[in-house]
Amino acid sequence: MAGSNCTQATEFILAGFTEAPATQVAQFLLFLLTYLVTVLGNLGMIALIRASPLLHSPMYYFLGNLAFVNLCTSTIITPRMLAGVLLGKKGITYAGCMAQVFTFGLFGMAECFLLATMAYDRYVAVCHPLLYPLVMSPERCSWLVTGSYLLGLTNGAGQTIGMFSLFFCSSSAIDLFFCDISLLISLSTSDTTLSLVILRTASSLLGVPSILVVLVSYVAIISTILSISSAEGKRKAFSTCASHLTAVSTFYGALIFMYLIPRSDTSRGGDKWAAVLYTVVTPMLNPLIYSLRNQEVKEAWRR
pLDDT, tens digit, 9 for 90 and up, residues 120-169 = 999 998 889 899 999 999 999 999 999 999 999 999 999 898 888 888 87
Question: What pLDDT is attached to residue 42?
Answer: 93
Closest CA to 122 of 228, 225, 260, 10: 225
pLDDT per residue rounded down to tens, the chain (303 residues): 455 567 777 788 887 776 777 778 888 899 999 999 999 999 999 999 998 888 888 989 999 999 999 999 999 989 988 888 887 777 888 888 899 999 999 999 999 999 999 999 999 988 898 999 999 999 999 999 999 999 999 999 998 988 888 888 766 788 888 888 888 888 888 888 888 888 888 878 888 888 899 999 989 988 888 887 777 777 777 777 777 787 788 777 777 766 666 555 544 555 677 778 878 888 888 888 877 666 777 777 777
Question: What pLDDT is attached to residue 171?
Answer: 65
Cβ–Cβ under 8 Å, residues 45 and 67: yes
- As a whole number of angstroms, the distance between CA 79 and CA 76 comes to 7
- As a whole number of angstroms, the distance between CA 191 and CA 167 comes to 8
Question: What pLDDT is attached to residue 271?
Answer: 67
Domain residue extents for the chain: 11-302
Quick: pLDDT tens for 73-112.
999 989 988 888 887 777 888 888 899 999 999 999 999 9
Average pLDDT, the chain: 83
Question: What pLDDT is attached to residue 7?
Answer: 75
Cβ–Cβ under 8 Å, residues 111 and 73: yes
Question: What pLDDT is attached to residue 5?
Answer: 64
Cβ–Cβ under 8 Å, residues 141 and 62: yes
Q: What topology is assigned to 11-302 in CATH?
A: Rhopdopsin 7-helix transmembrane proteins (1.20.1070)
Three state DSSP letters for 113-166:
HHHHHHHHHHHHHHHCHHHHHHHCCHHHHHHHHHHHHHHHHHHHHHHHHHHHCC
Cβ–Cβ under 8 Å, residues 236 and 295: no
Cβ–Cβ under 8 Å, residues 11 and 21: no
Phi, psi of 243 (to 5 degrees): -65, -45
Write the CA distances from 254 to 85, 273, 277, 292, integer angstroms: 24, 9, 7, 22
